[in-house]
Chains A and B, each alone.
Chain A
Amino acid sequence: MCIPTFLKSHYIWCFLKVIRELSGVILTRGPKLSNFIEWRGYKVVYKRYASLYFCMCIDQDDNELEILEIIHHFVEILDRYFGSVCELDLIFNFHKAYYVLDELLIAGELQETSKKTVARLIAAQDSLVETAKEQASSISNMIAQATK
Chain B
Amino acid sequence: MAGSSIMESLFQRSLEDMINGFRLQMIGESKSIAKSMEEIRREIKSTDPHTKSIALQKLMYLNSIHGIDMSWASFHVAEVMSSTQFSHKKTGYFAASHSFHDGTDVILLITNQLHKDLTSTNEFEVNLALGCLSVIATTDLARDLTPEIFTLLSSSKIFVKKKAVAVILRFFSKYPGAVRVSIKRFVENLASSDPHVVSVVVGVFCELILKDPGSYLPLVPEFYRILVDSNDNWVLIKVLKIFSKFVLLEPRLAKRVVDPICEHMRKTGAKSLMFECIRIVVTSLTDYESAVRLAVEKIRELLVDDDPNRKYLGLKALSILGPKHFWAVSENKEVVIKSLSDADPNIKHESLRLVMRMVSESNVAEISQVLINYALKSDSEFCNDILGSILSTYSRNVYEIIVDFDWYVSLLGEMSRNSHFHKGEEIENQLIDIGMKVKDARLELTHVGRDLLIDPALLGNPSLRKILSAAAWVSGEYVEFSKNPFELMEALLQPRTNLLPSSIRAVYIQSAFKVLVFCLHSYLLKMEAIPSPSLEDLASGVSNLVSKTECPEGYEVAKCEAPANCGQGEGFNPRVSNILVKDLAKENDADRILAHGQASSSISLEKDPFTHESVIHLLNMIRTALEPLSGRHEVEVLERSQNVLGLVELIQQEIPGCLVQKEGSFKNDEPKAFKIIKLMHAAFSKELGPVSLCKCYEEILMSTPVSGPVASNVRLHVDHPMQQKKLPKHLISEESSKSSVFYKRGIPGKPVEWGRMTIKFAQQGSMRDEYYSWRHSMYYSL
Instruction: Point out residues on A near B: beta carbons under 8 Å.
Output: 8-9, 11, 13-17, 30, 32-38, 61, 63-66, 68-69, 91-92, 94-95, 98-99, 102-103, 106-114, 117, 121, 124-125, 128-129, 131-133, 135-136, 142, 145-148
Contact = CB atoms under 8 A, between A and B. Distances in A.
B166 interface: yes
With a 10 A CB-CB cut-off, give which of A98, A113, A146 has the most chain B CB atoms: A113
Given A102-B131, A125-B124, A34 B94 contact: no
B61 interface: yes
Contacts of A146: 2-3, 6
A94 B86 CA distance: 19
Interface of B: 2-3, 5-6, 15-16, 19, 23, 48, 50, 57, 60-61, 64-67, 85-88, 90-91, 94, 97-98, 101, 124, 127, 130-131, 134-135, 159, 162-163, 166-167, 169-170, 173, 196, 199-200, 203-204, 207, 210, 232, 234, 237, 241, 271-272, 275-276, 279, 308-309, 311-313, 343-347
A91 B199 CA distance: 32
Nearest to A114: B196
Contacts of B207: 8-9, 108-109
A95 B57 contact: yes
30 contacts: A9-B207, A14-B64, A16-B66, A16-B67, A34-B308, A34-B347, A63-B237, A63-B241, A63-B272, A64-B313, A66-B234, A66-B272, A69-B272, A91-B19, A92-B16, A92-B19, A95-B94, A106-B162, A106-B163, A107-B166, A109-B169, A109-B204, A110-B203, A111-B162, A111-B166, A117-B196, A131-B86, A136-B87, A145-B2, A145-B5
B170 A107 contact: yes
Contacts of B271: 65
A25 B200 CA distance: 33
Contacts of A61: 210, 241
A92 to B, nearest CB: 6
B312 to A, nearest CB: 5
Contact of A113 (B57, B97, B199): B199
With a 10 A CB-CB cut-off, give which of A65, A91, A128, A146 has the most chain B CB atoms: A65
A117 B159 contact: yes
B240 to A, nearest CB: 9
Contacts of A17: 67
A111 B71 CA distance: 29
Given A8-B207, A109-B169, A129-B90, 7 more contacts: A34-B309, A34-B346, A92-B19, A108-B207, A131-B86, A136-B85, A145-B2
Contacts of B308: 32-34
Majority-rule SS of B interface residues: helix
A117 to B, nearest CB: 7
A51 to B, nearest CB: 15
B86 A129 contact: yes
A65 B66 contact: no
A124 B271 CA distance: 35
A132 B346 contact: no
Contact of A110 (B91, B234, B275, B312): B234
A129 B87 contact: yes
Contacts of A110: 199, 203, 234
With a 10 A CB-CB cut-off, give which of A64, A69, A111, A131 has the most chain B CB atoms: A111
Nearest to A103: B159
Contacts of A69: 272
Contacts of B85: 132, 135-136
A121 B160 CA distance: 11
A147 B67 CA distance: 39
B94 A64 contact: no
B350 to A, nearest CB: 10
B506 to A, nearest CB: 42
A47 to B, nearest CB: 10
Contacts of B345: 33
A43 B347 CA distance: 15
A71 B101 CA distance: 26
Contact of A132 (B86, B127, B167): B86
Contact of B203 (A9, A11, A91, A109): A109
Contacts of A129: 86-87, 90
With a 10 A CB-CB cut-off, give which of B87, B272, B309 has the most chain A CB atoms: B87
A16 to B, nearest CB: 3
A89 B348 CA distance: 38
Contact of B200 (A14, A109, A114, A148): A109
Contacts of A145: 2, 5-6, 48
A145 B15 CA distance: 22
Contacts of B234: 66, 110, 113
A27 to B, nearest CB: 15
A103 to B, nearest CB: 8
Contacts of B130: 106
Nearest to A17: B67
Given A61-B241, A95-B94, A107-B170, A136 B50 contact: yes
B311 A34 contact: yes
Given A95-B57, A99-B94, A112 B159 contact: yes
A128 B85 CA distance: 9
B167 A107 contact: yes
A61 to B, nearest CB: 6
Contacts of B2: 145-148
Nearest to B272: A65
B242 to A, nearest CB: 11
Contacts of A107: 134-135, 166-167, 169-170, 204
Contacts of B312: 34, 36
A23 to B, nearest CB: 13
- The 7 A-B residue pairs whose C-beta atoms are closest, nearest first, are A16-B67, A65-B272, A34-B308, A109-B203, A106-B166, A107-B166, A33-B344
A145 B64 CA distance: 32
